[in-house]
């Protein structure tokens, strides 16, 4: 018996256990022999893996890797060593390193890149000059105050928050408020009908979406989408917004999947948490772009995590700015807290919850999904990993499941681009 990702299922394979979909719905019973139609149904439901007879994902990986050119292996090993500068301290980082190597090997074998860059390419041609002496650095309190005043959220955000805070609110009230914003409603419906959820039947109305995924879940998604729209105006000559949001969406999807492996965590809340975890970087780039460029250069030059380089250059980091900013916008305190501590989860009062976000961020960084400002994989401290209950073996299936969703969700939020 072996566990195989759904992308590697083939007609004729036999299930060795019941195949369950979202919320424990039985899709196929143990002993079922797969057909092409079965496999398509499994993918529509968004199931990531199945237990089958006589083959495992490891067998399939070995078969694929045996056909890869040795030069691709060499480049992948060089790239992986660059990304992971020190020996892994936790089983999570060790397994992530292995998965990064496998993914890099496959990409190079296909002639693709794997987030490759030369240091000069870290900065766009239009980046400000080297000197930042004449660029003022506000205190983090002033930064947050000015950002809260200038970066206005859509009215729908505050309307949803008001309804949620009312003891008399209901599913009908939430659906009514969301439906008034046609752009938000359209985006939410596209999201609930995507592979992100994998529902087999189309959901064609906001009341129906509320009934299926729940009031809190839909409201959380609406708040996250509002956050993205609030920052669409950041100029591209200051910041590569698409690369930023690709990393953020990847982090959100990884966080959602990792949260689903823990008991009692809201998956949608983690998706939103991942989307906005680096929102402090946007505000800091808006306010002091040359100092942020200098912090990035310092990070590359000395192989420092970006938040440490920011602290040394500016005096505080984007996690601190983001957590305080979200608090000023009256985001849920638990969400703002995890964002505040996502680079140091071992100091968080919500250790497991914050670590989930950290794991997602590290995974997205390692797989070079978008750009976070961090060009080396941060190490995870043992006390943070010890708060997690799923096994490192979950990383591989999580990567495969997330990879299908990231491009789809990025396109849904920001539209298509000819070259990702």
Spatial CA neighbour of 309 closest among 293, 325, 298: 298
Instruction: Kindly report the backbone phi and psi dihedral angles of residue 197, in degrees, each rounded to the nearest multiple of 5, phi listed first.
Output: -105, -40
Judged on CB neighbours under 10 Å (0-12, 13-18, 19+), 374 is: buried
For 382-395, what is each residue's pLDDT tens digit?
A: 999 999 988 888 89
Spatial CA neighbour of 92 closest among 357, 398, 391, 400: 391
Q: Indicate whether 376 pLDDT > 60.
A: yes
Q: Rg of the chain over CA atoms, in angstroms?
A: 22
Q: Indicate whether 122 pLDDT > 60.
A: no
The rounded distance, in Å, linking the Cα atoms of 8 and 24 is 22
- Residue 237: the pLDDT is 66
Cα torsion 147, 153, 159, 165 to 10°: value is -40
> What tokens appear for 86 in the block?
């020190």
The rounded distance, in Å, linking the Cα atoms of 273 and 288 is 24
Q: Which helix (H) or strand (E) covers residue 28, if one does? A: strand 26-28
Name which of 25-34, 71-80, 147-156, 243-252 the model is least confident about.
147-156
Contact 388, 349 (CB under 8 A): no
More confident residue, 19 or 47: 19
Q: Which domains occur in the chain, in start order?
A: 2-61 (3.90.105.10), 68-151+234-420 (1.10.3210), 153-230 (no CATH)
Contact 175, 207 (CB under 8 A): yes
Q: Indicate whether 311 pLDDT > 80.
A: yes
For 287-304, what is each residue's pLDDT tens digit?
A: 888 898 889 888 888 888
- Residue 127: the pLDDT is 46
How many percent of the chain have pLDDT more than 90?
30
Q: What sections of 90-214 are H helices per DSSP?
A: 91-109, 140-150, 155-165, 171-180, 182-192, 206-213
Q: Measured at the alpha carbon of residue 279, what is the angle toward residues 195 and 146, in degrees to the nearest 5?
A: 145
- Residue 310: the pLDDT is 95
Name which of 27-36, 145-154, 276-285, 340-349 the model is least confident about.
145-154
More confident residue, 330 or 101: 101
For 258-291, what is each residue's pLDDT tens digit?
A: 998 887 887 888 988 999 999 999 889 888 888 9
Pairing of strands 49-52, 26-28: unpaired
- Residue 57: the pLDDT is 66
The rounded distance, in Å, linking the Cα atoms of 94 and 295 is 28
> What tokens appear for 190 in the block?
């596209």
Contact 280, 143 (CB under 8 A): no
Mean pLDDT, the chain, whole residue set: 83
Q: Indicate whether 107 pLDDT > 70.
A: yes
């Amino acid at each position: 018996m072996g566990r195989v990702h759904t992308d590697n299922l083939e007609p004729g394979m036999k299930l060795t256990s019941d195949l369950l979909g979202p919320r424990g719905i039985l899709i196929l019973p143990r002993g079922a022999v797969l057909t092409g139609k079965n496999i398509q149904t499994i993918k529509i439901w968004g199931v990531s893996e199945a237990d089958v007879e006589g083959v495992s994902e490891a067998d399939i990986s070995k078969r694929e890797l045996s056909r890869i050119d040795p030069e691709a292996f060499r480049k992948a090993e060089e790239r992986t060593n660059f990304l992971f500068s020190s020996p892994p301290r936790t089983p999570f980082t060790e397994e992530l390193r292995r998965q990064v190597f496998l993914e890099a090997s496959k990409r190079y074998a296909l002639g693709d890149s794997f987030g490759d860059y030369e240091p000069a390419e870290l900065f766009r041609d239009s980046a400000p000059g080297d000197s930042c002496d004449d660029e003022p650095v506000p205190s983090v309190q002033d930064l947050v105050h000015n950002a809260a005043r200038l970066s206005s959220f859509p009215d729908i955000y505050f309307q949803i928050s008001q309804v949620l805070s009312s003891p008399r609110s209901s599913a009908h009230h939430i659906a009514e408020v969301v439906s008034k914003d046609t752009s938000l409603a359209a985006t939410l419906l596209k999201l609930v009908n995507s592979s992100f959820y994998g529902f087999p039947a189309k959901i064609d109305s906001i009341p129906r979406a509320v009934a299926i995924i729940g009031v809190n879940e839909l409201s959380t998604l609406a708040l996250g989408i509002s956050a993205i729209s609030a920052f669409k105006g950041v100029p591209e000559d200051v910041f590569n917004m698409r690369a930023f949001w690709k990393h953020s969406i990847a982090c959100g999807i990884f966080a959602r999947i990792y949260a689903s492996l823990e008991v009692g965590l809201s998956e949608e809340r983690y998706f939103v948490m991942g989307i906005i975890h680096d929102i402090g970087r946007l505000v800091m780039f808006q306010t002091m772009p040359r100092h942020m460029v200098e912090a990035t250069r310092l990070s590359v030059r000395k192989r420092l995590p970006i938040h440490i380089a920011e602290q040394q250059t500016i005096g505080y980091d984007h996690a601190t700015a983001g957590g305080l900013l979200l608090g000023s916008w009256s985001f849920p305190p638990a969400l703002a807290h995890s964002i505040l501590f996502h680079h140091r989860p071992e100091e968080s009062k919500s250790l497991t919850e914050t670590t989930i976000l950290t794991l997602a961020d590290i995974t997205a960084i390692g797989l070079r999904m978008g750009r976070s400002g961090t060009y080396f994989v941060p190490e995870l401290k043992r006390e943070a990993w010890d708060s997690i209950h799923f096994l490192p073996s979950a990383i591989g299936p999580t990567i495969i499941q997330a990879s299908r969703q990231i491009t789809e969700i990025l396109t849904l939020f920001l539209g298509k681009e000819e070259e990702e």
